[in-house]
């Protein structure tokens, strides 16, 4: 088990699974500059750690995942400084794009409560979302005269029907976990307090797969969903599938199937 000590997040690794916990419960796990820096450090460590295969992102407490950006920080440090505001958006892109979407490892959001604004933007950058039935999802920035700046508009449009995305962004009103599941935003809904446990069960199943094949799968899914045209997407898939067939995971998977035993991937 590997651990790092941070002030605003928890970070631990166990059985090939890394868990990052947003941990500022007195301010509803709001994201400030210190938390953003610690997220960059932890996600970079996860990305480079050859033992860690799956990541989980969750929030401290049973009623809140993350309420978004720290409003006090916006007023104190960003409101009158255009360069600081620009740097904040770039920081968000580094976290959500480079260290979450572009990493070759799956990351699952375990949403145990309200998931709003920047919190939802973090969850949208994960591979999929498991939510407690008391969770709420929303991009509420418009209510204080702002718009999502960490990829919320772009990713929400790709996650749910476009007209529903417009409604959520224009109104700034949250939806509940059942609505989110119906829209395809959430993969599974659990009883209150069970989101992390359910996510951990899923992560353990994923961690048992071939690391090499998982990396190729995420690459194919990420790039295939972003390219223009079916032919290009199929070309991406073809390359990933060809590479997978050359890996040790395929050899072990075939051997295990023929020998009627569980595969033991390196």
- What contacts 24+ positions apart, CB below 8 Å, involve 231-237? none
Count of alpha carbons within 13 Å of 115, Cβ hemisphere only? 33
Catalytic (active site) residue 173? no
**Which residue has 């960003």 as its token pair?**
78
Q: Which of 141, 167, 197, 248 is catalytic?
A: 141
For 179, phi then psi, to 5°, come to: -65, -40
Catalytic (active site) residue 121? yes
Residue 193 Rama label (left phi>0; alpha psi -120 to 50; beta): left
CB-based burial of residue 3 (10 Å sphere; 0-12 exposed, 13-18 middle, 19+ buried)?
exposed
Q: Which of 62, 121, 167, 173 is catalytic?
A: 121
List b or e across 191-225, with b for residues whose CB sees 16 or more CB atoms inside 10 angstroms. eeebbbebbbebbeebbebbbbbbbbbbbbebbbe
For the annotated catalytic residues, the residue numbers are 121, 141
């Amino acid at each position: 088990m590997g651990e790092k000590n941070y002030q605003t997040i928890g970070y631990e690794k166990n059985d090939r699974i890394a868990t990052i916990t947003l941990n500022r419960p007195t301010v509803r796990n709001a994201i400030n500059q210190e938390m953003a820096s610690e997220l960059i450090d932890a996600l970079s460590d996860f990305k480079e750690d050859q033992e860690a295969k799956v990541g989980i992102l969750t929030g401290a407490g049973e009623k809140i995942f993350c309420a978004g950006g720290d409003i006090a920080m916006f007023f104190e440090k960003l409101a009158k400084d255009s360069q600081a505001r620009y740097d904040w958006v770039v920081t968000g892109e580094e976290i959500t794009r480079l260290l979450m979407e572009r990493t070759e490892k799956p990351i699952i959001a375990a949403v145990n409560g309200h998931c709003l604004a920047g919190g939802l933007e973090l969850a949208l950058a994960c591979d999929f979302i498991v939510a407690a039935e008391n969770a709420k999802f929303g991009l509420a920035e418009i209510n204080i005269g702002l718009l999502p700046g960490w990829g919320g508009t772009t990713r929400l449009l790709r996650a749910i029907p476009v007209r529903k995305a417009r409604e959520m962004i224009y109104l700034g009103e949250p939806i509940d976990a059942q609505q989110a599941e119906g829209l395809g935003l959430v993969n599974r809904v659990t009883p209150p307090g069970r989101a992390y446990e359910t996510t951990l069960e899923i992560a353990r199943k994923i961690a048992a797969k071939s690391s090499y094949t998982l990396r190729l799968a995420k690459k194919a899914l990420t790039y295939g969903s972003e390219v223009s045209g079916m032919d290009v997407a199929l070309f991406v898939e073809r390359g990933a599938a060809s590479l997978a067939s050359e890996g040790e995971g395929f050899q072990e998977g075939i051997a295990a199937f023929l020998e009627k035993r569980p595969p033991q991937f390196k």
